[in-house]
Structures are given as C-alpha cells and as structure tokens.
Amino acid sequence: MPSRSKVIAVALLAAALASSAFAAESSGPKITDFTLSNGLELVVIPDHRAPVVTHMIWYKVGAADEMPGKSGLAHFLEHLMFKGTANNPAGKFSQVVSRIGGQENAFTSNDYTGYFQRVPSDQLKTVMEFEADRMTGLQLTDAVVLPERDVILEERNQRMENNPRARLSEQIEAALFLNHPYGKPVIGWRHEMEGLTRDDAIGFYRRFYGPNNAVVVIAGDIEPEQAKKLAEETYGKLQPHATIAPRQRPQEPPPAAVRSLTLADARVEMPSLQRDYLVPSFRTAKPGESAALEVLSNILGSGSNSRLYRALVVDKAVAVSAGAWYDSSAFDMSKFGVYGAPREGVTLPQVEAAIDAVIAEVIAKGITAEELDRVKTRLIADAVYAQDNQATMARWYGSALTTGASVKDVQRWPERIRAVTPQEVQDAARIWLDKRRSVTGYLIKDTSPQAERRS
Amino acid sequence: MPSRSKVIAVALLAAALASSAFAAESSGPKITDFTLSNGLELVVIPDHRAPVVTHMIWYKVGAADEMPGKSGLAHFLEHLMFKGTANNPAGKFSQVVSRIGGQENAFTSNDYTGYFQRVPSDQLKTVMEFEADRMTGLQLTDAVVLPERDVILEERNQRMENNPRARLSEQIEAALFLNHPYGKPVIGWRHEMEGLTRDDAIGFYRRFYGPNNAVVVIAGDIEPEQAKKLAEETYGKLQPHATIAPRQRPQEPPPAAVRSLTLADARVEMPSLQRDYLVPSFRTAKPGESAALEVLSNILGSGSNSRLYRALVVDKAVAVSAGAWYDSSAFDMSKFGVYGAPREGVTLPQVEAAIDAVIAEVIAKGITAEELDRVKTRLIADAVYAQDNQATMARWYGSALTTGASVKDVQRWPERIRAVTPQEVQDAARIWLDKRRSVTGYLIKDTSPQAERRS
C-alpha cells in the first residue's frame, strides 16, 4: 500500500518528536487509562473539536526482538498484517477505511509496531473490530507473502540504498551497537530480508501479537467509558497470550574505543558529518538524567540560538548547518546525536573540531541560567502547542507506553524538564558526551571511476 | 586448571599456524580417515618415533554458535567439561592423565571447542573412555558451576582487560562484523559472562555435544585399524545426537564504510596500529582465492623480506615492526590483517599511509615471479618441517575438519599454493584489500588524569 511506504521514517520522526515534546500540561486533556481483563491497555485522549477519532494499536515488539539472521521481520509482518483473516479477506480492512473517508498507516521501530486509522467517530467500533480480528486471526499463504517480500526489498532500495544519509545512519548504528540488536537496521539487511518466509512471519506473529502485548490509544471525539465499552466488545473477546515474556535483549559492553567511519556515495552533493553517542533512554536513565539530556540537546543544537549553530554557522562560519538531538524513547539504551555540514572550502575534520570545541566548553564551563530558562520555556510551550494535534498526542502515549514509560511518566514530563538544573546539564555532557561512547560518520561524495556503477 | 588458562590464545595460534601451513606433502605420513556408524569422524596420523600419542577431540561448535546475550558460553562449557560425570567425579580424568605422565589442555574458538591429551600410547584407550564418558554424561551442579564462572571472569581480566593489544583486537572485531557473531569475543562480554548459569551450560552441551558433531584426531604411535577399534569400543557405544543441524550463522551485509577506531590504554608503552579486512575463508572463497590470499599475506607481511617490512622498517624507517597475516580456517568469512608500530617521532597516520602505499603498489603493479616463488617455497618447506610436530599435525586436521574442509583439502594444500599465479595475487589484493572492507585500529597510551583509575 502506498500509504504505508513511509512507515519507518514516520515512526522515527514520531519518536524524535516524542522525545523533545513528551508532554501533557495540566491544562491539557484529561487522559484515561484502562487495562482490560485480557491485559490489553487502553488510553483515551478526548478531543471533541471535530467528529473524528484517531485509533492506534501499538504492539510491544519491534526489530530489536527479531531472531538473529531474520532482520526486517518485524517490519515485514507489519506489511503482512494487511493480508487478511478468515473473516476479512486481504484488502477489505483498507477498503472499508477508505470507503468511510478514513486514513490509515502503520509503522515499525526497534521497540514497537503500530497501526492506526483516522475515521469518523461513529466508525470507531468498525476499525476496532478489524484490528481485533487481525490481532490473532491473520492467515498467510506464500501467494501473498512472496510478492510482499519484493515490496519491502524495494522499500529498502528507496529508503536506504538510494539515500546517502540513511546509509550513513545505518553504518553508524551498526558501529555504535557492538552487541545490542539496535545495531541492525529496522528495515533489515537486504541479504536477510531476501530469505524471510511465511513461516518466519507467522512464527513471529504468534510469539508476539496478543492483547496483553498491546496498547490501544484512542484520541478524538469519544468519551472514555464509551471507548472502554467498545474495547471490551471487540478486543475484550480475545484470550490473553499465554507466553508473553518481558523483553530482554543483549546489552552493550562498556564502550571503550573512539570510532569513526567514512561513507562515500556518488549521490552526495554536500559532505556532512554525524556523530552518535550511546546514552541512556528515559527508561534506563537515573532520575533526572534523561530530562537533562533533552535540555542539553536543545541548548547544544536545536534552532538558530543553539550553541552549535551560533558557533559553527554564525560566529566561525565553518558550517552551513549544525545541530544536536536526543531520543529519550527507547526500551534499552538510546542515542544522542550531533551533526554539521561544512561551508564550501571547509573540511569535515575542521567542522568536527569546531563541534568538539562547543561540547568541551559545556563540559568545562556548564551552561547559563538564561539559556536553561529559555530552552525549558520553549520545550514546554512546544509541547503545549503540539497537543493541538490529535495524532501527535496519540503517538506520544503510544511510544512511551511501548518503551517502558507510563501515562504518569508522560504527564510528568513538564515537571521533569522544569526541575533540570545547570549542574545536571553539565554533568550529563561530561558523563555521556565522552567520545569513547561515540561513532563519528563522514559522508563524502564518491568520485571514483566505479562510483557511477555502484550507485 | 592452570593448564587450561591459555586455551583461547592457543586455539587462535593454532588456527593461524594452520592457515599459513595447512599441509601434508606426499612425503608426509599416511593419514587415515574413518567415520563410525554414529557419525563420529576419526582421523589417524601415524608417527612411531616415540611411544606416545596425541589424542584430540574437536566439537563443531564454538562461540559463534552461542545464543544472543550468552557470549562466553562455549568457553565456559569447555571449563565445565572437567567437572565430572556419574562414572567419573570432578577432577578424576585430569588426575589420571597426570598420574600416567600425560599432558592435557582444552581450547575454544569461534568455530570449535577441543580437548586434548598427550599420553603414553598404551594409555590411549583410557583417555578415549574418559572423553566418551563426558561427551554425553556431564553432570553439573551450581556448586561447581558458580566458582568456575569466577575463573572465566578472572581469565577475561588477565587475557583481555590487562592486555591492551587484546582489547584493541576485541574492539576491531566488534566493529568489523556488523551482523555475524564473529564480532563477539570468544571469551565473552563480561556483563554477559556474569549472568551465565548451569542451565545455560547444560542446554548448550545437550544441543551441541554428540558423536556426530565431533572429530577425533589421533597422532602418534598407533596404527589406524587399532585406533579405529579403540574408537568403536569407546565412542562407538554412544548414540548419535538426533538434532544436530548444519551451522547457519547470520551473515555480513556488503561492507560499505571505511572504519577506524582509537583505543587509549594507560599500559601502552608503544603505539601501534592494526587493520583487519573482511575476506573469504577457505570454505567461503572461490577456488584458488584462499591460497592467493595466503600467498599475498606472506609477500606483504611475513618476515624481513616482506614488502611491508622492507618498506616501513628498512627503506623508509618509519616503523619498528610491520607485517600481515591471513587466517583461512573459519567456517564463515575470515580476516586479513596488517599491522605496524611507528619509530620514535613518527605518527600512526604516517605509518598507516606507508602501509597504504605498499598495498596500493601491489594492487597497481602486482608481484614479481621471484617473490612468488620464494614465498611458495618457504610456505611449503615450513609446512613440511611443521609436520615434525605431532600436535601441530593434529591441530591442522582438527581445525580444518571443524571449519568445513576435508582431509583431502588439507592434503591438497601444497598443490593449491603451487598453483597460485601472480595475477591471482594481484586480483586478491584488488578485490579484498579494499578499505571499505576494513577497520583500522590505533592503540595509544592513555595519558588522561583518569587513566590510572581506569586501567
């Protein structure tokens, strides 16, 4: 389905948004959280401005839960979930959503797999019935599985192999994670995707899909009690999965070596560099540490007032872009990134040295009260504005609840941001922005005679 | 047991020796190869100069067969194999070997786990009985498992954490293999070793140990038929393992990025660099390719006549050492290494540039007939001399037969070396010594204030 062709990117974007804008001000909507007797968690976010609802189901399984040699399987199954059940032949669910004027999409990350529909609120029960049906009733034959494998291979072509920056990120992640499956690409390694089978997909589905491994988030024109009633009438009929185990992935050894890599690609128009550090996620951080990393990433690298932008783009004029980001929403450890692209005539090592100097200054001298206040105010304001979007809200809760956080954790995000001190930000920089925890990737133009052929 | 404290290093050395001297000239001993009805393979190498035999059992399982999160398990089990059975309490086997004046040892690699004894030839049946007994009869309790876990942790301390070069190799391998379990250290990641249990060890043992997953190599004062009779009377009584499956490990994606890393360690006295390339092993190479890589590694970097030594140590005088190596004996892909250590006042990037220049010259201009002849003659002569050592011969066959080669493959090694052409060597350099297939590691002295504490 064309509408699912950007699934992975959407999911990563959602996670990034969630990380910088995890929020629910006390002035926001009242969130209700239920758990059905079969273990399914239901979160309801009322929003009565229009007669529509966003319905999302998030499974607590993603690419990091794949067996070795089966990379891409979580995402492949996401595609195959549209291939029909005994009650609903392939394509019927999508046709119905389309006929009622709705939208749908699906996405896969390392930690979760999600499906969503945006439909008129009086059609909510219909999509819940379809989702409940395919949660346990999926039927797959080679006749539908094998062509879909070609679809995901083509998706890999478009999204990764024809995208130098995506290739760089893939290489950096593979070098950053020495042991944890986060080092594998979510879309999969091509040579492994080529070998994925119906049995692989059904085995993964039976192992991980079930009401007690899912979170349903409904945002929109619905009352909590009514949503709960509909959930009980649909999802509530399913038996809990008997053997869902807590997620336990291989963890990283202590990082020891400063790593770097260079990827040359004929399609690169402008060289750039990206550095990822291995840092804690919200779930794995000590109290306060994840909020300090969020603040730090914003002070260092969000917007034209940030330290990296001011130093590299404005003051030294060595770069045309520079910034930083942090993703707090991972079940296991997470990443903190910095990046920059040199101005004409400037080398990547010069840009890297300028980034290093900015980081060294924060580590040595800390940050000012003024910039801390400014960033806190902006982060919280952005989160308040973002609540205007029903789907954004649903994504915050979905990604939080599938990466080890609770509804309360999401609601307390503004408190945590407000509590960050200058010392905590400086400590976070000193402890976590240690180059031994990082991989620096250079993306350059491949000008070799063979480059044309390779690209 | 103190005698097993160098197991992993011994195994790696054996593999390296095997790779550069895989051999059996027609003038060498007549090798006999049997397979018992339960699937156990038996190789006999007669050597009647002294009344002793070397008895080795090699299991086709190693660290690359461990489940994710259980690194170090193959080696842990190797230690636990000395902990007794219903028939023979812990320590009895070793006591008997010692009482009869024998020696014993054990070793673990990525692809195999082996146990050997060198005993008077009239005691051969005794050690075969013990080995057959512990192949299926191992009994483990927490009382013996948990203290042995402390032993392997201490072994990791001594062998890896107190050895900067070993740490560098560990980091390079982890960065070289993005997907294959060869990227994990054979000894294990410390945080995973700490969690290994009795159940993990017994599960691994039951899954992989059995006569149809083992090769017994006997070198020494024994006739083939007599060895076979003894094997039938001992190992022959065991039932084949019902569920031994062919080894299938996750494979590497095509290498794309030139990678490098720097490890700083306070114990480094002299900086050095090592670069590993991902290349085919004998089993995974096209015909002739592995022999060409062996010849190439010798021309580039074995001895004081090699190109790297001459260029870096003698002519340019930028290095105090420089060389190259290639390990052909891996079940999956293998590694080709180059290394060098700068003279006082020379930097690592200068040494690296000098190595790059030597490699570039071979790629551009090939090698001479004279140096090809010289290296072939020396390789084959070395292999002939090495046959003088009973245990070395046994190791060649054991490592070959557990990494996908046959007795004939070992015997034909001199033919393969003799057949290598200058063009094949140049092609091997051009195809495989591509920097995108490599990780370059710099080892430098850590002079930071925290270094003392970390080391």
pLDDT digits (tens, 9 = 90+) for A304-321: 999 999 999 999 999 999
pTM: 0.91
| Contact flag A68-B257 (C-beta cutoff 8 Å) | no
Angstrom distance (rounded) from CA B369 to CA B449: 54
One DSSP character per residue, B294-358 reads HHHHHHHHSSTTSHHIIIIIIIS--EEEEEEEE----SS-EEEEEEEEEPTT--HHHHHHHHHHH
| Contact flag B259-A260 (C-beta cutoff 8 Å) | yes
Query: Which residue ranges of chain A lie beneath pLDDT 70?
Result: 1-28, 451-455
What are the φ and ψ backbone dihedral angles of A159, each rounded to 5 degrees? -80, -35
Q: Name chain B contacts of A68, Cβ cutoff 8 Å.
A: 68, 181, 249-250
What are A8's two structure tokens?
A: 């992975």
Angstrom distance (rounded) from CA B59 to CA B210: 8
Catalytic residue among A41, A66, A78, A129: A78
Residue A132 CA: distances (Å) to CA of A39, A90, A209, A214, B359: 14, 15, 11, 11, 61
Distant-in-sequence, close-in-space partners of B223: CB < 8 Å, separation ≥ 6 = B44, B46
B381 reaches A (C-beta below 8 A)? no
Q: Name chain B contacts of A193, Cβ cutoff 8 Å.
A: none
Q: Name chain A contacts of B262, Cβ cutoff 8 Å.
A: 257-258
A258 reaches B (C-beta below 8 A)? yes
B256 reaches A (C-beta below 8 A)? yes
Q: Name the B residues in 45-74 with CB < 8 Å from any A CB.
A: 68-69, 71
3-state SS string for A165-213: HHHHHHHHHHHHCCCCHHHCCCCCCHHHHCCCCHHHHHHHHHHHCCHHH
Angstrom distance (rounded) from CA B321 to CA B354: 12
Contact of A125 with A135, CB cutoff 8 Å: no
Among the partner-chain residues A184, A257, A263, the one whose CB lies closest to the CB of B256 is: A263
Angstrom distance (rounded) from CA B65 to CA B59: 12
The predicted pLDDT at position A29 comes to 79
Tell me, yes or no, if A78 is annotated catalytic: yes
| Closest residue in A to B168 (Cα–Cα) | A257
The predicted pLDDT at position B245 comes to 87
From the number of C-beta atoms within 10 Å of its C-beta (0-12, 13-18, 19+), residue B263 rates as buried
What are A366's two structure tokens?
A: 């800390």
B6 reaches A (C-beta below 8 A)? no
Angstrom distance (rounded) from CA B65 to CA B249: 7
Contact of B355 with B338, CB cutoff 8 Å: yes
Nearest to B9 by CA among B104, B109, B80, B157: B109
The per-residue b/e assignment along A211-237, b for 16 or more CB within 10 angstroms, e otherwise, is: bbbbbbbbbbbbebeebbebbbebbbe
Q: Which residues of B are catalytic?
A: 78
Angstrom distance (rounded) from CA A86 to CA A417: 49
A162 reaches B (C-beta below 8 A)? no
B263 reaches A (C-beta below 8 A)? yes
Q: How far is CA A243 from the centre of its chain?
A: 26
Contact of A361 with A323, CB cutoff 8 Å: no
What are A179's two structure tokens?
A: 């042991």
Longest dimension (CA), chain A: 66
A255 reaches B (C-beta below 8 A)? no
Residue A120 β-bridge partners: A52
User: pLDDT tens track of chain B, all 455 residues?
Assistant: 333 333 343 333 344 444 444 444 445 678 999 999 999 999 999 999 999 999 999 999 999 999 999 999 999 999 999 999 999 999 999 999 999 999 999 999 999 999 999 999 999 999 999 999 999 999 999 999 999 999 999 999 999 999 999 999 999 999 999 999 999 999 999 999 999 999 999 999 999 999 999 999 999 999 999 999 999 999 999 999 999 989 999 999 999 999 999 999 999 999 999 999 999 999 999 999 999 999 999 999 999 999 999 999 999 999 999 999 999 999 999 999 999 999 999 999 999 999 999 999 999 999 999 999 999 999 999 988 888 898 999 999 999 999 999 999 999 999 999 999 999 999 999 999 999 999 999 999 998 877 655 44
What are the φ and ψ backbone dihedral angles of A227, each rounded to 5 degrees? -65, -40
The predicted pLDDT at position A359 comes to 98
In this structure, the dihedral spanned by the alpha carbons of residues B71, B75, B81 and B83, taken in order and rounded to 10 degrees, is -80
- Tracing tokens 């092993």 back to the chain, one arrives at B281
Q: Name chain B contacts of A259, Cβ cutoff 8 Å.
A: 175, 259-261
Global ipTM: 0.88
End-to-end CA gap in chain B: 27
Q: Name chain A contacts of B258, Cβ cutoff 8 Å.
A: 261-264
| Closest residue in B to A67 (Cα–Cα) | B68
Eight-state DSSP code of residue A256: -
Is the CA virtual torsion B95, B152, A246, B61 positive or negative?
negative
